[in-house]
Amino acid sequence: MALLELRVELDRRAAEPLSEALLEHGAHSVDIEPPQAERVVLRAIFPEGFDAARALRRAVQGCGMRAAPAFSVRALADEDWVRRSQSQFAPVRVGRVWVGASWHEPADAPVKLRIDPGLAFGTGSHASTRLVLGFLDRTINGGERVLDYGCGSGILAIAAAKLGAQRVDAVDIDPVAIAVTNENARANGAAVHACLPEALSPDRYDVLVANILAQPLIELAPLLAASARPGAALALGGVLASQSAEVQAAYAENFALALAGNEDGWTLLCGVRR
């Protein structure tokens, strides 16, 4: 498969939210190098023929940047991009859960997940994913009905299933994410039902997670409220510290939300359905 590479040089603090937004707007994968420097290079990979410049403009608007940074786009020769990028991904341990790729040696953990980087977002390496994994580790005791909205690679849904949830539904607007989630669930021996939003069950859930971005989370507030039983636990990830108050306000009518974690500028909002 031929690919396009979008290259942007910018401040590290702006790179994280922009990388999230680019994934929302069609990027197959994003990497930031060097990850701890003040000034970094962000590289986003798109399919051949994709309007990467338009995706960048939409991503800039979505993450609240004042102006689009200078960028370049080039064609990549056919190659296995995922394998070329293996060195970016390190195993992650959050509570009972270990997440690694197929080439990593598993740690001694109660719950092990194998998630290879690919065409849908979510390997456990991002701060927002780690925060929500921590919530699931603390919340899932066994027998719960769980909804993962915006499932990406399915990492959160699969973790919930392997932690003992009785039923796990995963939803995404991207058909590629649905296919990837189902494939990852099978590979991990996890019972997860992934579907597009229109196929979501009308049932109510005991635990709901959504690790997306602030604006989509605000728009999803009525749907997640309708999907939560009274007393259900909710966790929202993908929210920058500067956006948390606005997201909390959108959910205030139906959920008692509070700041439950903060890592690398990303916050976790948790609460209970009123």
pLDDT value at residue 262: 92
pLDDT tens-digit profile of 82-120? 555 555 567 999 999 999 988 888 889 999 999 886 655
Q: Which residues pair with 94 in a beta bridge?
A: 97
Low-confidence ranges of the chain (pLDDT < 50): 80
Domains of the chain (ranges, CATH numbers):
3-84 (3.30.70.120), 119-273 (3.40.50.150)
Short-list 65, 4, 52, 48, CA closest to 25: 52
Short-list 168, 190, 64, 56, CA closest to 115: 190
* H or E segment and range at residue 75: strand 71-76
Bridging pattern class, strands 3-11 and 71-76: antiparallel
Query: Is the Cα torsion angle 175, 7, 36, 17 positive or negative in sign?
Result: negative
Question: What size, in residues, is the chain?
Answer: 274
pLDDT value at residue 84: 53
142 alpha-carbon distance from chain centroid: 23
Task: Take residue 152 and report the two structure tokens written for it.
Answer: 């990406």
Q: Can you list the pairs that 25-29 forms with residues at least 24 positions away whose Cβ atoms lie under 8 Å?
A: 25/55, 25/58, 25/59, 25/62, 26/50, 26/55, 27/55, 28/3, 28/81, 28/118, 28/119, 29/81, 29/82, 29/85, 29/117, 29/118, 29/119
Angstrom distance (rounded) from CA 249 to CA 180: 33
Is the distance from CB of 255 to CB of 234 less than 8 angstroms?
A: yes
Angstrom distance (rounded) from CA 161 to CA 145: 9
pLDDT value at residue 20: 79
Task: Take residue 68 and report the two structure tokens written for it.
Answer: 């689009």
pLDDT tens-digit profile of 144-170? 999 999 998 899 999 999 999 999 999
Q: Which residues contact 67 (CB under 8 A, 6 or more apart)?
A: 60
Distance linking the first and last C-alpha atoms of the chain: 48
pLDDT value at residue 86: 53
